[in-house]
Structure 1
């Protein structure tokens, strides 16, 4: 059956930011006395809110971080993004295909609105998505809780079971499944834990050009 609504994660699905932000985060965490690489940060923290990451980093380092630590990281990320953020290769054609089929789509992200508008703006995708952005900033809990996807579905006027989520992180896949939604996991990045994503219930794909056929294979 044709999906009623397609909900895209933002980082790593629409815009190629994951390697950038995790390299920066690795520097921050390493400076706290816990040496870590960008790919390891990606495996540990990908898809989570920075508030959740703060708690995890405190456990790893044994240090109590300031309450504004997440905002400090966000400010540093915004500086990194000034160099330019590319769109994920092929994602514009996916949006073209959805437009041609008159299938609505939106974004459900752990990131705050300011970050989404910065990265999507830099990539050139924002005009297509403005007014259809939903953030865990407006939810009681971030991924892997289903809140942001349920918010997106309700706001766009669709029942959860009619929605399909496009994700690249384990917390994101878990959130989609908890929301009662089908989920496809984009695994182009070598840092993705493919086995964990599949075990969590996602259908995996490696290239954005594959997505339309997956979404509409039974239509």
Structure 2
């Protein structure tokens, strides 16, 4: 039963995009526009599989390898600007997240963010959803470590900052890179989440769930409420 998983953990480490905020339609949608500007066309499932959870640096390296030259202002600067504008218009919180935060507060379970997004973008998004204070000192970005996801660095850093054993921690992730990084970090419970709106049809959701399992997820959930 997934509802009992929290009873055995000392901390919860959240991915941000696609787990706390339902932002991937904006972020990946604008990334698709950017890739088209470089002559690189990708389907929505390809965008989800290839880039979800990866840092801006990793995405930039991918683009530059494909086009054989620097990305210039188109990435990440212009992309970040469009994503920020999208966040300012509408940035939904994933269903079940407020209730899960309340549960963690009530049970005294420390929690943090571990995201491939830039610190500036995370700060802006947290302000938009009214959670700046909650993660004032615990919003950890790939910018703070040598290697982003799928390396274990960010998860090890997050656990160290919280003062917990990775083996007694839970990670909630929707990205293959994040699940792989969690496994490499020795995280005890790795929950793959497939309930956000970017997984917008049953076939994509089922395929992504299987990919998350293969990457190392110990549990798969379609609703954050499954953890309550």
Note whether the superposition's TM-score is higher than 0.5. Answer: yes
Q: Matched residues in 2 for 1:33 and 1:107: separation?
A: 34
RMSD of the alignment, in Å? 1.8
Match of 1:216 in 2: none
Residues 34 and 74, structure 2, Cα contact 8 Å, conserved in 1: no
Distance 1:65 1:58, change over 3 A: same
For structure 1, list consecutive stretches of 5 or more residues without a partner in the other structure. 213-219
Q: For structure 1, which segment, 66-75 or 175-184, has the greater mean C-alpha deviation from structure 2 after superposition? A: 66-75
Match of 2:4 in 1: none
Match of 2:3 in 1: none
Q: CA deviation at 1:121?
A: 1.7
Match of 1:215 in 2: none
For structure 2, list consecutive stretches of 5 or more residues without a partner in the other structure. 1-6
User: Quick one: which of 176, 183, 206 aligns to 2:222?
Assistant: 206
User: Quick one: which of 143, 156, 162 aligns to 1:137?
Assistant: 143
Match of 2:191 in 1: 184
Q: For structure 1, which segment, 202-211 or 181-190, has the greater mean C-alpha deviation from structure 2 after superposition? A: 181-190
Q: What is the number of equivalent residue pairs in this alignment? A: 212
Q: CA deviation at 1:39?
A: 4.2
SS state of the match for residue 95, structure 1?
Answer: helix
Distance 1:177 1:57, change over 3 A: same
User: Quick one: which of 8, 17, 25 aligns to 2:14?
Assistant: 8
Q: CA deviation at 1:154?
A: 0.7
TM-score (norm 1): 0.90
Distance 1:68 1:31, change over 3 A: closer
Residues 34 and 75, structure 2, Cα contact 8 Å, conserved in 1: no
SS state of the match for residue 109, structure 2?
Answer: coil
TM-score (norm 2): 0.86
